Structure 1
Amino acid sequence: MSLNLNYKPNFFVNTENIPEDEWLEWRRKGIGGSDVAAALGLSPYRTMLELYYDKIGVVPVEAGEDKSITFQIGHLLEDVVAQIFAKKTGLSVYRDQTMYQHPLYPFMLADVDRFIHMPDGTTAILECKTAHYDTQYLWANDAVPRHYEMQVRHYMSVMNIDVAYIACLFSNSEKDFVWRKIERDLDEEENTIMLLQDFWTRYVCNRVEPPLNEKPDMVLDVLRRFYGPADTSAPSVSLASSFVPVLEQLLVMKAEKSDLDSRVRKLDAQIKSAYAPIAELMGPSCRATCVDRGVTYNVSFNAQCREGISKDKLSALKAQHPDIYDEFIETTEWRTFKLTKSQN
């Protein structure tokens, strides 16, 4: 595969006045910049399976964490981020509410936040982000979070643009603001296109579910949301014999975990027995020291509090004030995986 750089992006759809549900339908016709990390199994927020379901129009049975407000806030603040970027860099920023399509790889789409008129007459891309204040460390030493970088590189590929900037605002102060310049990398771009093409053709076009390769908690959460709550009346599922090696491995791992849990419980008991005399001497004090031959041992025995309601009081609340109980109590379902083995 050798990239042809003699192209201009195709006009796909004008997004200026279309409602969100229609905009989402257009996005399902290809892979957009924010889809790239998930399509490659590298997103910290979304699995390949979740992206696949989205592209084929499968709606989850259960709603996940409500990200709509966060998305709306980020969308509303795009202009603020763009204005701060323009002020700090002196570059001219403008908006083009068009979704574009790669002319050589039609499954690749780009809905770019802003464009930049560069002083040399060329055009650059500006991606506007907002993030929590505590995530600034991800941008330290001129770094860019990988999933954001992949998004911007995707836009550069679709638009055939060599330079992009990504800017991020962390608070309501422009002091908590960073921007990074990203230059096109054709070798990485070529490899990414091949991987995205494989995802699109192998899974989306053929209606084949992608593998579950991401973090287990992410995968299980997606399965829960798309398959819904447990149904005790549902018939038992018969597993193929090809699962036997996996089941045997699970039995071994669960036995090892049980042994380790037992050892941890014994160690916890031994640790508490060892420091109980020290706790007795400390009484209500939270600190102690021991000095011996130039070595100082510092001990802390701090209190930790956790708010909660006992089962008895919870039952009383439900019986005496059912309206208050229903208003504030949330039921969360989780499922416990158990495995046993028996001889027929």
Structure 2
Amino acid sequence: MTGPAVPDARLLGTFAPGTPEWTMARSGLVVTATEAAVIVGLSPWRSPLSLWHDKAGTRPADEVTPTAAMRWGTRLEPVIADVFAEEHPEVLVHETGTWANLARDWQRATPDRIVTPADGGPLALLEIKTSRYGDGWGKAGTDQVPVTYRCQVVWQLDTLGLDVAHVAVLIAGQDYREYTITRDEDEAVFLRERAAEFLNSVRAGTPPPLDGHPATYRTVQHLPGGVDDIVADIAPDVAETYRQALVDLRRAEETKRFASAAVLSAMGTARRAEAAGRKVATRTTRDDGSTRALIPHPRLLTEELAA
């Protein structure tokens, strides 16, 4: 099923992810919902520079190896869609495909589902997510979703010409929540303008500036390709930035080793450490009982502990 027609887009087709047809609908000088988040620097997986080189064809496109979380997310998508349908018998939930905006053919989107009221009425989108932790997710019923996903949803609404999207998420395999995002014209115009500027920069051969994103470094590692046995005379400020970064890294590593030793010392023989009821770290051990590694709790990187 492809679902009902929408106001501002045409259906390109229903393609299985990873197939040649799916790749073709997303390749070239077009922008998808996930790429819109990349362009404005909101993707944890790709950077503007890495996407630019993909679009420009100056290096092989990023090969994203599906993680276990991604594979389970794909498997659970129809299950979560069924739960949403059960929770809302007043609507019909339709599978759909890849759409292109009628006015801007380069603006593409592949929403997870389209929702229609059973007795008629405005269409809405349904975006389906899974999350290991609840970080970035607000109270159910609000519009407080991680900013990367909000960006994707706003782009999808703008592409199809719809006003409302529901986000259904399963957190930690048991916490089902729903959120509602209403189209924001200012956000839509911002994303649209930035995307158009990005495509123009590809046409002009002007890449975005460097940044500290891991994907940017991976991209630069593969450019320009090949090595000449010569000496490059680089600018002193570039060299100094590199030198200072190495100094800062050494100091940070020393600080981390000291802090890790302090935590292990305070733990004694305990397997796990907490501070005021909040999880801090877990130790792994060798066969003789000595510590192999101290593993910080994932939330420790995003939640500051009170003194």
Identify the range of structure 1 (152-161 vs 101-110) with the bigger mean alpha-carbon deviation: 101-110
Question: Could you say which residue in structure 1 is the equivalent of 2:78?
Answer: 79
Matches within 5 A, 1:34-73: 34-57=34-57, 60=60, 66-67=65-66, 70-73=69-72
Normalised to the residue count of structure 1, the TM-score between the two structures is 0.63
Cα deviation, residue 103, structure 1:
2.2
Question: Could you say which residue in structure 2 is the equivalent of 1:113?
Answer: 112
Asked if 1 retains the 8 angstrom alpha-carbon contact of 2:130 and 2:170, the reply is yes
Matches within 5 A, 1:120-135: 121-132=121-132, 135=133
Output the CA distance in 2 between the equivalents of 1:67 and 1:106. 29
Change (3 A) 1:19 1:213: closer
Question: Could you say which residue in structure 1 is the equivalent of 2:8?
Answer: 9
Identify the range of structure 1 (180-189 vs 94-103) with the bigger mean alpha-carbon deviation: 94-103
Cα deviation, residue 102, structure 1:
1.6
Identify the range of structure 1 (106-115 vs 47-56) with the bigger mean alpha-carbon deviation: 47-56
Question: Could you say which residue in structure 1 is the equivalent of 2:155?
Answer: 154
Asked if 1 retains the 8 angstrom alpha-carbon contact of 2:50 and 2:215, the reply is no
Paired amino acid for 2:55: K
Matches within 5 A, 1:127-146: 127-132=127-132, 135-141=133-139, 142=142, 143-146=144-147
Paired amino acid for 1:159: L
CA RMSD of aligned residues (A): 3.8
Question: Could you say which residue in structure 2 is the equivalent of 1:220?
Answer: 217
In terms of Rg, which structure is larger? 1
Output the CA distance in 2 between the equivalents of 1:68 and 1:15. 24
Change (3 A) 1:307 1:87: same
Asked if 2 retains the 8 angstrom alpha-carbon contact of 1:16 and 1:97, the reply is no
Output the CA distance in 2 between the equivalents of 1:98 and 1:253. 46
Change (3 A) 1:72 1:18: closer
Answering whether residue 239 of structure 2 is matched by residue 238 of structure 1, we say no
Asked if 2 retains the 8 angstrom alpha-carbon contact of 1:93 and 1:114, the reply is no
Question: Could you say which residue in structure 2 is the equivalent of 1:332?
Answer: none
Output the CA distance in 2 between the equivalents of 1:62 and 1:48. 12
Normalised to the residue count of structure 2, the TM-score between the two structures is 0.70
- Give the secondary-structure state (helix, strand or coil) at the position aligned to 1:82: helix
Output the CA distance in 1 between the equivalents of 2:85 and 2:72. 20
Paired amino acid for 2:104: Y
Asked if 2 retains the 8 angstrom alpha-carbon contact of 1:156 and 1:162, the reply is yes
Asked if 2 retains the 8 angstrom alpha-carbon contact of 1:61 and 1:227, the reply is no
Matches within 5 A, 1:260-279: 260=251
Change (3 A) 1:304 1:20: closer
Higher helix share: 1
Question: Could you say which residue in structure 1 is the equivalent of 2:102?
Answer: 103
| Aligned-residue identity in percent | 22
Gaps of at least 5 residues in structure 2 are 1-5, 271-281, 288-307
Paired amino acid for 2:220: L
Matches within 5 A, 1:164-183: 164-173=165-174, 176-183=175-182
Change (3 A) 1:249 1:130: closer
Cα deviation, residue 150, structure 1:
0.6
Output the CA distance in 2 between the equivalents of 1:159 and 1:113. 13
> Deviation digits for residues 271-326 of structure 1, max 9, x if unmatched?
99xxxxxx9xxxxx769xxxxxxxxxxxxxxx955449xxxxxxxxxxxxxxxxxx
Higher strand share: 2
> Deviation digits for residues 51-92 of structure 1, max 9, x if unmatched?
22333445549966x226654443332221111111123342
Asked if 1 retains the 8 angstrom alpha-carbon contact of 2:130 and 2:171, the reply is yes
